[in-house]
C-alpha cells in the first residue's frame, strides 16, 4: 500500500498531526517550545513523536496525572487518525481474509485490523455472523466498514469526551499505532521551526 502526498505533506497522516498540533494557540506554543529544545530536525521529530504518542496514550487511558488542558485536542486528533486508518482499510479484502479465501494483504492497515479481529474472540464471532448475514462480499464489506466507523465515532462522540476503558479503546490504540508508522515526524517538527 502506498500513501500519496496530501495537501503538500508526505501523506494524510502527517498532515493531520500538523493540523491538530497547530490548530490551537496554546498547543502550538507547547509544540514550538518542545521542538525548539532540540537543535537537529531528526531529533526534534523523535521528541515530537514521543510527546504525541505519550499524550494520546495518556488521554486514551484516562491517566490521572495527564495534562488535561490538551484533552480536546487529543480527542480530535485520535478521532481523525482512527477514521483515516479505517478509510485506508481494504474492506473487500478484509472480508476475504475472514472467510479464508485469501491469507494475506499488502495493505498494512487491513492486516493490522485482521490481526486485531483474530485476537478478540467475541469480535471475531460477531464478524463471522455478519459475513453469514451478508453473503455478498461488497455488501458485507460496506456493512462492516460502517459498523467499525460507528464504533469509533461512539467512543469519541460521548458526552464526556473521555474514553471508557473498553475493548474499543484497545482497538483505537491499535489503529493509532498503525498510523504512527507512516507519519513523517521530522517534517512535522520542522514545520514548528521559525525558519519553516
Per-residue pLDDT of the chain (196 residues; tens, 9 = 90+): 678 999 999 999 999 999 999 999 999 999 999 999 998 989 999 999 999 999 999 988 888 888 889 999 999 999 999 999 999 999 999 999 999 999 999 999 999 999 999 999 999 999 999 999 999 999 999 999 999 999 898 888 865 555 555 778 888 999 999 999 999 999 999 999 988 8
* CB-based contact 67:55 (threshold 8 Å): yes
Q: How many CB atoms lie within 10 A of CB 147?
A: 12
Angle between helices 71-88 and 167-180 (to 10 degrees): 80
Amino acid at each position: 500500500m502506498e500513501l500519496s502526498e496530501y495537501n503538500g505533506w508526505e501523506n494524510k497522516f502527517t498532515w493531520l498531526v500538523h493540523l491538530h498540533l497547530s490548530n490551537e494557540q496554546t498547543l502550538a506554543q507547547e509544540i514550538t517550545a518542545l521542538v525548539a529544545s532540540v537543535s537537529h530536525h531528526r531529533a526534534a521529530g523523535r521528541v515530537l513523536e514521543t510527546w504525541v504518542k505519550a499524550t494520546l496514550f495518556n488521554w486514551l487511558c484516562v491517566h490521572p496525572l495527564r495534562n488535561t488542558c490538551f484533552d480536546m485536542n487529543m480527542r480530535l486528533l485520535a478521532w481523525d487518525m482512527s477514521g483515516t486508518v479505517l478509510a485506508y482499510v481494504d474492506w473487500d479484502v478484509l472480508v476475504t481474509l475472514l472467510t479464508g479465501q485469501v491469507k494475506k494483504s499488502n495493505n498494512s492497515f487491513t492486516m493490522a485490523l485482521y490481526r486485531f479481529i483474530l485476537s478478540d474472540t467475541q469480535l471475531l464471532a460477531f464478524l463471522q455472523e455478519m459475513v453469514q448475514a451478508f453473503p455478498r462480499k461488497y455488501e458485507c464489506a460496506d456493512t462492516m466498514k460502517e459498523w467499525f466507523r460507528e464504533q469509533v465515532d461512539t467512543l469519541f462522540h460521548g458526552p464526556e469526551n473521555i474514553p471508557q476503558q473498553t475493548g474499543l479503546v484497545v482497538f483505537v490504540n491499535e489503529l493509532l499505532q498503525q498510523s504512527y508508522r507512516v507519519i513523517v515526524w521530522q517534517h512535522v517538527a520542522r514545520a514548528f521551526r521559525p525558519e519553516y
